[in-house]
């Protein structure tokens, strides 16, 4: 499965900047849906963040999905890779 990687930066209420990737099927082009996936992920956090639409969330590249990502996408439509200040 080819997966589209959306590089995302969101500012937390404490001033730290989160960095994570949203992984979705490469056929998905609807940015509103991608933002909704980001919000689903962010709503699970114990801290508040700025709106994803006012943050930086942009298509980065397409790559081959790992088995773990394929399972996550089949279950919930997306996967997340956390990089910075996501905890």
Q: What pLDDT, in 10s, does the model give residues 38-86?
A: 999 999 999 999 888 778 999 999 999 999 999 999 999 999 999 999 9
pTM score of the predicted model: 0.92
87 class by beta-carbon count within 10 Å (0-12 exposed, 13-18 middle, 19+ buried)? exposed
Which one of 3.40.50.720, 3.40.605.10, 3.40.50.300, 3.10.510.10 gives the CATH number of domain 2-84?
3.10.510.10
Q: What pLDDT, in 10s, does the model give residues 20-41?
A: 999 999 999 999 999 999 999 9
Contact between 26 and 6 under an 8 Å Cβ cutoff? The reply is no
Would you list the domain boundaries of the chain?
2-84
């Amino acid at each position: 499965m080819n997966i589209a990687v959306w590089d995302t930066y969101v500012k937390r209420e404490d001033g730290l900047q989160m960095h994570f990737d949203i992984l979705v099927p490469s056929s998905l082009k609807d940015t509103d849906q991608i933002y909704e996936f980001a919000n689903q992920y962010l709503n699970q956090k114990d801290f508040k963040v700025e709106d994803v639409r006012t943050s930086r969330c942009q298509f980065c590249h397409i790559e081959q999905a790992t088995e773990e990502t394929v399972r996550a996408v089949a279950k919930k439509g997306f996967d997340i890779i956390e990089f910075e200040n996501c905890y």
